[in-house]
Amino acid sequence: MAGKALFNPIQVGSITLKNRIGMAALTRNRAENTYPTELMKEYYIQRAVGGAGLIISEAILITRQGTEWPHAPGLWDDKHIAGWKTIVDAVHESGSKIYAQLWHVGRVAHPDAPEQKLAGVPVYAPSAISARGGKFRHIPDAPGYVTPTEMEDPWVIVKQFKDAAINAKKAGFDGVQLHGANGYLITQFLDNTANKRTDQWGGSVENRCRFPLEVLKVLTEVFGPDVGVKISPAGGYNDVGMPLQDTLDTFSYFISEADKLNLAHFELVRYSKLFDYVYDGAHRSTKHDVLASYRPCIKNAKLFLNAEVTPEEGEELVAAGKVDAIFIGFNFITHPDLVKRVIHGKPLDNLPDIPHLQTNKSSTDWSAGYTDYPLAVYE
């Protein structure tokens, strides 16, 4: 066993987790027409039975959007609620807890994507500034990102987040996590390279933090203390990232203010070269020690660390009091019994089925690379 610290129960919001190894949100692109399926339920059951203390659902769209993942799930109608409820109930019956991760992609949707056309609205963002990169493989000629439409009234989107949280509550989720990482809408408001607004939603640090803080406030109106937020201050992915001092100033303020809202947890994503994309010959991330920089700002909520954290490192960090818990992402894809393996000293040795990480136009059996990873052999 990696150690004992990871297996001490922990109070997070109003619930108690049986251990401190959480499963991070992982987009797997297997919802049929945005609706959860029985196959998705099997996937989540496997990882709950495998010992995850807290599961964060794959990112769930709060409204219909034309993302790079045509089979990303949603949570805006009764059929979504019913589908997610079967998954949530099954996770609970399997001994784990589950949060819904609420997601708006902002400028990294595409107006020609089928789901965006169905939505009948433009691709909205804080400002009419395109991100570089992107590849919409399900659209002819696989185009990249385009210039979005600056949203007139961000309060409209704030309400959409609240509506999604109400639906998550109806589905029985234990909490919600705001997806504030990886260059999506929340990051776009925070980042002064994506947000050039001159009204109350842009300009100063306080104004750029206003939108994410207002979203967190309405989420807490629905879920009380069972709200978390995921942030990736180092940026990089989806063409975000600010100079170091701007980064430190922005995220220190945001975390400090958010921590006053009686949140359950922060998920801090530290710098990873996997997300340090190169645009026009330059690395996009702002490389810095995310844990050391922002840990002092968190005085109330629990802190989960993510990005290439191993169980062994997690044990050391939790035992030393540097973090409260860890989230593991990719290794939960390939090891449904990850926590059980850690307990029994089994290696994380399954090889990833890279061609089937996501579904694509040629996918037939959606269980391949999804629910077919082998369990370890236990005595």
H or E element in which residue 221 lies: helix 205-223
Tell me the Ramachandran region of residue 216: left when phi exceeds 0, alpha when psi lies from -120 to 50, beta otherwise. alpha
Give the residue among 56, 148, 48 at the shortest CA–CA distance from 96: 48
Cβ atoms of 133 and 279 closer than 8 Å: yes
Torsion of CA 309, 312, 318, 319, to 10 degrees: -160
Is 184 annotated as catalytic? yes
Cβ atoms of 64 and 119 closer than 8 Å: yes
Distance of CA 319 to the CA centre of its chain: 25
**CA-CA distance, 261 to 279, in Å (whole number)?**
36
44, 99, 184, 294: the catalytic one is 184
Our CA angle for 219, 71, 89, nearest 5°, is 55
Contacts of 216 (CB under 8 A, 6+ apart): 178, 227, 229, 258, 261, 263
Cβ atoms of 134 and 209 closer than 8 Å: no
User: Number of helices (H) and strands (E), helices first, in the chain?
Assistant: 11, 14
Cβ atoms of 284 and 245 closer than 8 Å: no
The residue behind tokens 């990833």 is 352
- Two structure tokens written together for 40: 């998705």
| β-strands 21-23, 54-61 pairing | parallel
Burial label, 280 (beta-carbon count in 10 A; 0-12, 13-18, 19+): exposed
**CA-CA distance, 51 to 19, in Å (whole number)?**
8
Residues in the chain, overall count? 379
Which residues are catalytic, by number?
184
